[in-house]
Chain A
């Protein structure tokens, strides 16, 4: 049984650019969530997908968007990057029972 894998592990982007982060869910998990974790803080919920549909969203602007694919893998897209978007982005998958498995995250630095 494989866990949650995220790519890339690190990324440096320039302010105003766009970025796509990828996540492969744990085998059999149909729900995926994305979290933003700023340095020294707890993860903040961005949004969640269940069977390819967004079914929950946190307090993040529309330039944060996502997709879930039929194989339950997922993407997080961020447009018009701002310096404050620098953070660890975490993907978590679940069998829709509230028990989540997290990936190791993508460290995004915006310069």
Chain B
């Protein structure tokens, strides 16, 4: 059962443009929503995360928008740079639960063209 659905699977954006990745979840008990960035041959690295009590969080060029009623959240990468070319994963978890596993989306491969 895929509890976190991510789209699109791939994305091509020009340098300076905006990359937008969307995720939808099913389990309303999720209370922590991180985004990870993964480069080839490396493990996922935490980029930014949000809790459901806020609707938006911004860190530098990265912004998470969260819509609790729609059970959706998205990552916006502003002023995209070639160095942002990577695979991005959304995830969700129940922090207070024993064995608070991360449930990942399928990933979005982003290519930023110079």
A residues touching B (Cβ–Cβ < 8 Å)? 4, 33, 35, 40-45, 47-48, 50, 55-58, 90, 92, 96-105
Inter-subunit contact B106/A41 (CB<8 Å): yes
Taking CB atoms, residues of chain B closer than 8 Å to A105 are 42-43
Interchain nearest-CB distance for B110 vs A (Å): 14
Taking CB atoms, residues of chain B closer than 8 Å to A97 are 95
Complex CA gap A38/B107 in Å reads: 12
Inter-subunit contact B107/A42 (CB<8 Å): yes
Q: Does B32 sit within 8 A of A, measured CB to CB?
A: yes
Q: Does B17 sit within 8 A of A, measured CB to CB?
A: no
Chain B interface size, as a band, is 20 to 34
Q: Which of B56-114 contact A (CB under 8 A)?
A: 89, 91, 93, 95, 97-107
Inter-subunit contact A43/B95 (CB<8 Å): no
Taking CB atoms, residues of chain A closer than 8 Å to B104 are 42-44
Q: Which of B25-74 contact A (CB under 8 A)?
A: 32, 34, 36, 41-46, 49
Residue from A43, A57, A58, A100 in contact with B89 in the complex, judged by beta carbons closer than 8 Å: A43
Inter-subunit contact B43/A41 (CB<8 Å): no
Complex CA gap A98/B6 in Å reads: 21
Taking CB atoms, residues of chain A closer than 8 Å to B43 are 4, 90, 92, 102-105
